[in-house]
């Protein structure tokens, strides 16, 4: 039972971590809060399902196409809506409200296109279970865990080892100094929103084959990803991943050894404790003053 719980905890924790990473990247790059991540996860799951189930593309191809579509959707949101509001000197709260409106639009659009019923992914593998440490596990869960770990590692390499990653970190730390140094801050901000959207799409593809795909699937996961970002230190990209894994482990083992009824209660109690006693999170990330 322990191994099964651990695999499940790492899977859902890594999903929370990737969602939290998206929140933190957007906040660090622009000082804004985006409440579209949950619905972007849902859209990514539906888009991936369409390519895999209805167009009969192999799962890796469906995943790749979903990532590309979600990347450009995030870029479009930033260029057309967020940047327009900022150019008009709109208050930060108006930008936040715009992201809430977008999340409602995405949800209703998905309902019109795919319906309100929960849809199932066809099996990805020809076997229903595999043996891991002598324990029968769903292969989709193991695949999802592997993909999420790869995504986290790739994000680390991108942020630390590439020119664009270095530019994004510099622009997030000091936009004016970065601009003077020749960094295109506008481009890096757009890339940040695009990558956050792509990460949400990946999360949708990871949990869709396990839990099914429905219009409400991203709501609670989006909130828990937000909670994970706060636990790790809102705006700290590595703290977001640690916070997500920690939250996933705590709630999964609480559900396994106490009761699943208290899973969400325990998760949000931890969030409240951090907000009261450690608002800077595990990595002591300071809040941007507006």
d(CA 278, CA 271): 10
Helices vs. strands in the chain: H and E counts, helices first: 12, 2
Residue 195: what pLDDT? 94
Question: Would 261 be classed as within a structural domain?
Answer: no
Residue 236: strand, helix, or coil: coil
Q: Quote the domain boundaries for residue 9.
A: 2-220
- How does pLDDT run along the chain (290 residues), one tens digit per residue? 787 888 888 889 999 999 999 998 888 877 788 999 999 999 999 999 999 999 999 999 999 999 999 999 999 999 999 999 988 988 889 999 999 999 999 999 999 999 999 999 888 888 777 776 677 778 888 888 888 888 888 888 888 888 888 887 787 777 788 888 888 888 888 999 999 999 999 999 999 988 899 999 999 999 999 999 999 988 888 888 899 999 999 999 988 888 888 888 988 999 999 999 988 888 876 654 44
- Please tell me what DSSP assigns to residue 55: S
Question: Would 112 be classed as within a structural domain?
Answer: yes
Q: Which helix (H) or strand (E) holds 214?
A: none
Q: Helices marked H in 115-236 — which ranges?
A: 139-161, 163-173, 175-180, 185-211, 217-232
Question: Would 279 be classed as within a structural domain?
Answer: no
Q: Count the domains in the chain.
A: 1
Question: Would 243 be classed as within a structural domain?
Answer: no
Residue 20: what pLDDT? 93
Question: Would 262 be classed as within a structural domain?
Answer: no
**E strand spans, the chain:** 130-132, 135-137
Residue 242: what pLDDT? 92
Nearest to 32 by CA among 40, 22, 42, 41: 22
Question: Would 104 be classed as within a structural domain?
Answer: yes
**Token pair recorded at residue 115:** 């319906």
The pTM of this model reads 0.90
Residue 230: what pLDDT? 92
Question: Would 198 be classed as within a structural domain?
Answer: yes
Question: Would 249 be classed as within a structural domain?
Answer: no
Residue 107: strand, helix, or coil: helix
């Amino acid at each position: 039972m322990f191994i099964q719980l651990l695999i499940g905890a790492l899977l859902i924790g890594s999903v929370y971590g990737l969602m939290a990473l998206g929140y933190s990247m957007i906040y660090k790059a622009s000082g804004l809060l985006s409440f579209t991540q949950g619905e972007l996860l849902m859209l990514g799951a539906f888009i991936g399902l369409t390519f895999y189930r209805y167009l009969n593309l192999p799962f890796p191809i469906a995943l790749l196409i979903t990532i590309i579509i979600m990347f450009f959707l995030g870029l479009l949101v930033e260029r057309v809506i967020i940047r327009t509001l900022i150019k008009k000197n709109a208050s930060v709260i108006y930008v936040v409200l715009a992201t809430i409106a977008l999340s409602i639009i995405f949800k209703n659009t998905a309902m019109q296109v795919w319906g309100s019923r929960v849809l199932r992914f066809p099996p990805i593998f020809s076997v229903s279970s595999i043996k891991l440490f002598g324990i029968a596990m769903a292969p989709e869960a193991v695949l999802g865990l592997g993909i999420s770990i790869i995504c986290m590692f790739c994000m680390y390499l991108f942020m630390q080892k590439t020119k664009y990653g270095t530019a994004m970190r510099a622009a997030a730390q000091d936009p004016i100094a970065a601009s003077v140094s020749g960094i295109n801050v506008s481009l890096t901000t757009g890339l940040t929103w695009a990558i956050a959207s792509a990460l949400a799409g990946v999360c949708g593809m990871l949990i869709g084959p396990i839990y099914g795909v429905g219009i409400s699937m991203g709501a609670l996961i989006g909130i828990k990803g937000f909670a994970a970002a706060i636990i790790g230190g809102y705006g700290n990209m590595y703290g977001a991943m640690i916070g997500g894994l920690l939250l996933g482990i705590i709630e999964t083992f609480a559900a396994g050894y106490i009761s699943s009824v208290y899973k969400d209660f325990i998760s949000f109690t931890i969030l409240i404790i951090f907000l009261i006693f450690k608002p800077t999170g595990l990595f002591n990330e300071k809040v941007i003053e507006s």
